[in-house]
Amino acid sequence: MTLGLKHGQNRLCAYSEDWPNQFQAESSLIRDACGPLITAIEHVGSTSVPGLLAKPIIDIAVGVDALDVADEMIPAMQTLGYDYPDDIGIPDDRIFGRDPGFRLFLVHVVVHESKKWRYYLRFRDTLRSNKQLSEEYAELKTAIVKKHPSGRGVYTELKSAFIDRVLKQDQ
Protein backbone atom coordinates (compact mmCIF):
# COMPACT_ATOMS: atom_id res chain seq x y z
CA MET A 1 0.00 0.00 0.00
CA THR A 2 1.36 3.43 -0.94
CA LEU A 3 -0.40 5.48 1.70
CA GLY A 4 0.97 8.23 3.91
CA LEU A 5 2.94 11.42 3.50
CA LYS A 6 5.37 13.17 5.83
CA HIS A 7 4.06 16.50 7.10
CA GLY A 8 4.84 19.37 4.73
CA GLN A 9 6.16 17.09 1.97
CA ASN A 10 4.73 17.03 -1.55
CA ARG A 11 5.02 13.71 -3.36
CA LEU A 12 2.83 12.04 -5.95
CA CYS A 13 2.23 8.32 -6.37
CA ALA A 14 0.67 6.26 -9.10
CA TYR A 15 -2.95 5.37 -8.41
CA SER A 16 -3.35 2.40 -6.08
CA GLU A 17 -6.24 -0.04 -6.47
CA ASP A 18 -6.13 -0.29 -2.66
CA TRP A 19 -7.12 3.35 -2.05
CA PRO A 20 -10.89 2.73 -2.35
CA ASN A 21 -10.51 -0.14 0.16
CA GLN A 22 -8.60 2.13 2.53
CA PHE A 23 -11.37 4.71 2.21
CA GLN A 24 -14.06 2.10 2.90
CA ALA A 25 -12.28 0.81 5.99
CA GLU A 26 -11.61 4.29 7.40
CA SER A 27 -15.08 5.63 6.61
CA SER A 28 -16.59 2.66 8.47
CA LEU A 29 -14.47 3.47 11.53
CA ILE A 30 -15.52 7.12 11.37
CA ARG A 31 -19.19 6.26 10.96
CA ASP A 32 -19.00 3.79 13.87
CA ALA A 33 -17.27 6.38 16.07
CA CYS A 34 -19.42 9.41 15.18
CA GLY A 35 -22.71 7.71 14.32
CA PRO A 36 -25.70 10.03 14.14
CA LEU A 37 -23.58 13.18 13.82
CA ILE A 38 -22.80 12.18 10.22
CA THR A 39 -25.21 12.60 7.33
CA ALA A 40 -22.95 11.26 4.54
CA ILE A 41 -19.36 10.20 3.82
CA GLU A 42 -17.64 10.39 0.43
CA HIS A 43 -14.16 9.60 -0.92
CA VAL A 44 -12.90 12.81 -2.54
CA GLY A 45 -9.61 14.20 -3.78
CA SER A 46 -7.21 12.66 -6.25
CA THR A 47 -7.08 9.26 -4.53
CA SER A 48 -10.77 8.88 -5.43
CA VAL A 49 -10.11 9.18 -9.17
CA PRO A 50 -9.00 5.87 -10.74
CA GLY A 51 -5.73 6.20 -12.63
CA LEU A 52 -4.88 9.68 -11.34
CA LEU A 53 -1.52 10.51 -9.77
CA ALA A 54 -2.12 11.61 -6.20
CA LYS A 55 -0.55 12.62 -2.94
CA PRO A 56 -0.89 9.40 -0.96
CA ILE A 57 -3.38 10.79 1.55
CA ILE A 58 -7.01 9.70 1.46
CA ASP A 59 -9.34 12.71 1.56
CA ILE A 60 -12.73 12.02 3.10
CA ALA A 61 -15.67 14.44 2.96
CA VAL A 62 -17.99 14.05 5.93
CA GLY A 63 -21.35 15.74 5.54
CA VAL A 64 -22.98 17.09 8.68
CA ASP A 65 -26.05 19.22 9.45
CA ALA A 66 -24.04 22.22 10.72
CA LEU A 67 -20.35 23.08 10.78
CA ASP A 68 -20.19 23.23 14.58
CA VAL A 69 -20.91 19.47 14.63
CA ALA A 70 -17.15 19.11 14.01
CA ASP A 71 -16.61 20.19 17.63
CA GLU A 72 -18.93 17.41 18.82
CA MET A 73 -16.92 14.90 16.78
CA ILE A 74 -13.58 15.68 18.48
CA PRO A 75 -13.64 13.04 21.27
CA ALA A 76 -14.71 10.21 18.93
CA MET A 77 -12.22 11.22 16.25
CA GLN A 78 -9.40 11.41 18.80
CA THR A 79 -10.05 7.76 19.70
CA LEU A 80 -9.25 6.95 16.05
CA GLY A 81 -5.97 8.90 16.14
CA TYR A 82 -7.20 12.16 14.58
CA ASP A 83 -6.12 15.61 15.65
CA TYR A 84 -8.29 18.66 15.12
CA PRO A 85 -6.67 22.03 14.52
CA ASP A 86 -10.15 23.70 14.37
CA ASP A 87 -10.71 26.39 11.75
CA ILE A 88 -7.46 26.59 9.77
CA GLY A 89 -8.64 29.24 7.37
CA ILE A 90 -10.42 27.05 4.83
CA PRO A 91 -13.90 28.55 4.45
CA ASP A 92 -16.82 26.26 5.32
CA ASP A 93 -14.51 23.33 6.10
CA ARG A 94 -13.17 21.78 9.29
CA ILE A 95 -10.24 19.39 8.96
CA PHE A 96 -9.30 16.36 11.03
CA GLY A 97 -5.94 14.75 10.27
CA ARG A 98 -4.92 11.26 11.27
CA ASP A 99 -1.39 10.43 12.33
CA PRO A 100 0.30 13.82 12.86
CA GLY A 101 3.72 14.04 11.24
CA PHE A 102 2.89 11.32 8.69
CA ARG A 103 -0.62 11.86 7.35
CA LEU A 104 -2.68 8.94 6.10
CA PHE A 105 -6.15 10.47 6.06
CA LEU A 106 -7.65 13.96 6.02
CA VAL A 107 -11.29 14.35 6.93
CA HIS A 108 -13.09 17.43 5.62
CA VAL A 109 -16.18 18.11 7.73
CA VAL A 110 -18.58 20.24 5.70
CA VAL A 111 -22.30 20.92 5.71
CA HIS A 112 -24.01 18.19 3.70
CA GLU A 113 -25.39 19.43 0.35
CA SER A 114 -23.70 22.83 0.85
CA LYS A 115 -21.75 24.57 -1.89
CA LYS A 116 -18.52 23.12 -0.42
CA TRP A 117 -19.98 19.58 -0.37
CA ARG A 118 -21.09 19.87 -3.99
CA TYR A 119 -17.68 21.36 -4.94
CA TYR A 120 -15.84 18.28 -3.63
CA LEU A 121 -18.14 15.82 -5.39
CA ARG A 122 -18.40 17.75 -8.67
CA PHE A 123 -14.64 18.07 -9.04
CA ARG A 124 -14.15 14.36 -8.30
CA ASP A 125 -16.92 13.28 -10.65
CA THR A 126 -15.70 15.55 -13.45
CA LEU A 127 -12.19 14.10 -13.27
CA ARG A 128 -13.60 10.56 -13.14
CA SER A 129 -15.60 11.14 -16.31
CA ASN A 130 -13.13 13.25 -18.30
CA LYS A 131 -9.80 11.50 -18.94
CA GLN A 132 -8.33 14.51 -20.74
CA LEU A 133 -8.96 16.81 -17.74
CA SER A 134 -7.65 14.15 -15.38
CA GLU A 135 -4.42 13.87 -17.41
CA GLU A 136 -4.08 17.66 -17.56
CA TYR A 137 -4.51 17.82 -13.77
CA ALA A 138 -1.84 15.12 -13.29
CA GLU A 139 0.59 17.09 -15.47
CA LEU A 140 -0.06 20.27 -13.50
CA LYS A 141 0.42 18.52 -10.15
CA THR A 142 3.64 16.89 -11.37
CA ALA A 143 5.05 20.27 -12.44
CA ILE A 144 4.07 21.83 -9.10
CA VAL A 145 5.66 19.05 -7.04
CA LYS A 146 8.82 19.26 -9.12
CA LYS A 147 9.15 22.98 -8.32
CA HIS A 148 7.79 22.73 -4.77
CA PRO A 149 8.68 19.39 -3.13
CA SER A 150 7.59 20.84 0.20
CA GLY A 151 4.94 23.26 1.33
CA ARG A 152 1.42 21.95 0.98
CA GLY A 153 -0.07 25.44 1.04
CA VAL A 154 1.82 26.42 -2.11
CA TYR A 155 0.86 23.11 -3.76
CA THR A 156 -2.82 23.71 -3.02
CA GLU A 157 -2.71 27.35 -4.08
CA LEU A 158 -1.08 26.55 -7.43
CA LYS A 159 -3.81 24.02 -8.26
CA SER A 160 -6.68 26.38 -7.44
CA ALA A 161 -6.97 28.10 -10.86
CA PHE A 162 -7.25 24.71 -12.59
CA ILE A 163 -9.87 23.51 -10.10
CA ASP A 164 -11.88 26.73 -10.50
CA ARG A 165 -11.75 26.38 -14.29
CA VAL A 166 -12.96 22.76 -14.16
CA LEU A 167 -15.82 23.63 -11.82
CA LYS A 168 -16.92 26.56 -14.01
CA GLN A 169 -16.85 24.32 -17.11
CA ASP A 170 -18.95 21.71 -15.40
CA GLN A 171 -21.84 24.02 -14.47
Its pTM stands at: 0.93
- Per-residue pLDDT for 60 more than 70? yes
Angle, CA of 74, 116 and 133, to the nearest 5°: 120
Q: How far apart are the first and last CA of the chain?
A: 36
Nearest partner of 99 among 7, 165, 17, 33, judged by Cα:
7
Give Cβ neighbours of residue 34 (< 8 Å, ≥ 6 apart).
62, 73, 76, 77
CATH architecture of the domain covering 5-169? 2-Layer Sandwich (3.30)
> How many helices (H) and strands (E) would you count in the chain?
5, 7
Q: How confident is the model at residue 154 (pLDDT cuts 50, 70, 90)?
A: confident
- The residue-averaged pLDDT of 68-90 equals 88
Q: How confident is the model at residue 53 (pLDDT cuts 50, 70, 90)?
A: very high
- Kindly report, residue by residue over 137-149, the tens digit of the pLDDT: 999 999 999 998 8
- What pLDDT, on the 0 to 100 scale, is given for residue 6? 86
- What pLDDT, on the 0 to 100 scale, is given for residue 87? 65
- What pLDDT, on the 0 to 100 scale, is given for residue 56? 94
Contact 34, 81 (CB under 8 A): no
Lowest mean pLDDT among 15-29, 73-87, 106-120: 73-87
Lowest mean pLDDT among 88-92, 93-97, 112-116, 157-161: 88-92
Nearest partner of 159 among 140, 143, 146, 142, judged by Cα:
140
